[in-house]
Amino acid sequence: MPFALKVIFYRILMVLLKFVTVFIPAPKPTIYSGAGSAKKMCSTIMHFGSDKLLIVTDAMLVKIGVVSEITDELERLGVQYIVFDEILPDPSYDLVEKGVQVAIEHQANGILAIGGGSPMDAAKIIAARVTNNKSIESLTGILKVKQPCLPLFVVPTTAGTGSETTIAAVVSNPSTNQKTPVIDPKLVPIAAALDPALMLGLPPAITAATGMDALTHAVESYLSKHAAPDTDHYALAAVKMIMKNLPICYADGKNEQARESMALASFYAGAAFTKANLGYVHAIAHQFGAFYHTPHGLANAIVLPHILEYSLPAAQRRLAELALVVELGVAGEPHAVLAQRFVDAVKQLNQDIGIPTTLETLKANDVSTIAKGALKEAHYLYPVPRYMDKLQCERIIRAMLPA
């Protein structure tokens, strides 16, 4: 089929997908914000009758004492818990299934996720898997979660994924080297604590990568063909806050005000893309994660400038609006000029916070397969502003090969 006809098909498919999303209510979690908000949320857990918790986290957060700050409060309130701290980046089906068995053995009646995107995604799928008599693989896709999940509460420890407000979770299928999404409103947590005090110790590199993850969410949702006035408000606020506060957090990780602004921006970006969706940056970044276990935020940060450059011809006006919101020009200047300024500003931000321009682990022999997987994901899920074929996608990916 000629590529032009394929684009028509993809556009029609996205119209149908937009029609579906309009009628899917996306609940929003109760948000606790500010230093100490994680402890405040513990009382909410009690109100929902969740007195036997499975805590889903990673070993490092246990080691550095972040988890104990919250479990001490749970103990004070009389909440029983068991800690499952084996979550790794890009959690696999087997790892998540192990968490499911721990939850069942503990007879958990609630789940608390503490960590970045991987613990939150794993917790979402565990919460769904425990109450739905279906394999993890059969839950992947759109609206496959039939029964309500276990009550889920989250404490993000990075300002990037926005998973605390999204209807999606991603899990890796190790047999296919693919990241597979579970998309359903039932995955949205009941409550989330955006506690900047828990983020003060984040290393600069993680601060940079997770912050660029949030920026990618905001920018891709703003350029999406499914963008709407409500998602635009969230996206614009997120872009403005991130461009201002990410360099501050990178240079001074103890700046609590900037950390709180980044946590809120990540939440806003998550709210935007939950409805407006994402684009090619995520499609390619997901492949990098599946093939090389590249941290998701870092992958997004590397890919973002390349996709913005490719999208320029179809997204000039929207990119120009992003330039104006971060004060890179004044209204009335040509859209082309403003749009290029925004793309250049993203490149400069990457440089300022130590993001590389290439992916060290990327192999030339994998480019074709990565492009194929990325296009399959993008063309069936994402309302991108400008479509690309496989050769164009391969060309973009090859630009990220190490020298």
Average pLDDT over residues 370-379: 96
| The pLDDT of residue 23 is above 70 | no
Dihedral-angle region of residue 2 (phi above 0 means left; psi in -120 to 50 means alpha; beta otherwise): beta
What pLDDT band is residue 3 in, cutting at 50, 70 and 90? confident
* 353 and 364 belong to one structural domain: yes
Are residues 280 and 262 both part of a single domain?
yes
The reply to whether 120 and 243 lie within a common domain is no
Average pLDDT over residues 272-281: 94
Cα–Cα distance for residue pair 254/247, rounded to 1 Å: 13
Determine, yes or no, domain membership for 135. Answer: yes
Which structure tokens are listed for 8? 């028509």
Asked if pLDDT for residue 21 goes beyond 80, the answer is no
Average pLDDT over all residues of the chain: 94
Q: What is the pLDDT of residue 201?
A: 84
Token output for 62: 């246990």
Q: Are 153 and 111 contacting, i.e. CB atoms less than 8 angstroms apart?
A: yes
Range of 251's domain?
A: 202-398
Mean pLDDT for the stretch of residues 252-258: 96
In percent, the amount of the chain with pLDDT more than 70 equals 99
CATH number at residue 166: 3.40.50.1970
- Mind listing the pLDDT tens digit for each residue in 57-88? 999 999 999 999 999 999 999 999 999 999 99
Tally of domains in the chain: 2
| Residue 358 domain-assigned (yes or no) | yes
Dist. CA 45–CA 355, nearest whole Å? 38
- Write down the pLDDT at residue 22: 63
Q: Can you give the pTM of this predicted structure?
A: 0.92
Residue at 311: amino acid letter: S
With respect to residue 1, please indicate whether it lies within any of the assigned structural domains.
no
| Residue (of 70, 61, 9) closest to 42 by Cα position | 70
Question: Could you give the CA distance from residue 17 to residue 268 in angstroms, rounded to a whole number?
Answer: 22
Whether 200 contacts 35, CB under 8 Å: no
Q: Which CATH number is 252's domain given?
A: 1.20.1090.10
**What's the rounded Cα separation, in Å, for the pair 242 and 229?**
20
Measured CA distances, 143 to 125, 128, 224, 392 (Å): 13, 12, 21, 32
Domain boundary among 148, 169, 199: 199
